[in-house]
Amino acid sequence: MLTDEIRKSLIQAALEARHWAYAPYSNYRVGAALLTTSGRIYDGVNVENAAYPETICAERVAVVKAVSAGEREFQAIAVVTQNGGSPCGACRQVLAEFGLDTVVLIADAEGHLNAEMPLIDLLPRAFTPQSLAD
């Protein structure tokens, strides 16, 4: 269960991270803050590339940082964009690898929470590790 304090803390961390985004082509800066079940927060920013397909989203950066530190269980992720945009399909799929119950907080550049939902609501009928079981 996320408290209001945790929500605010995650959104603030994503807002602060957003300042470091590298978005010289789109100018669409994204910050993310991922809360693990151990209580640690990992931030991420989008990093664009002149070869556009090589761009990586803030959400995936946060996941990679957490996983590279040994984390595998996530509680929530806050995503902050200028207009409160939702995570892309690739980010939804990467998050699904670690659990569809991860809470997704979507906020705008002023820190206003626009949406909150479990990942399963953003990625119904997700392809997960269990999909490979049989």
- Token pair for residue 106? 């979507």
The residue with tokens 């119950």 is 101
Question: What is the full DSSP assignment across 93-131?
Answer: HHHHTT-TT-EEEEE-TT--EEEEEEHHHHSTT---GGG
Of 59, 97, 110, 116, catalytic: 59
48 part of the active site:
no
Q: Can you read off the two tokens belonging to residue 16?
A: 């602060």
Any idea which residues carry the catalytic annotation? Answer: 59
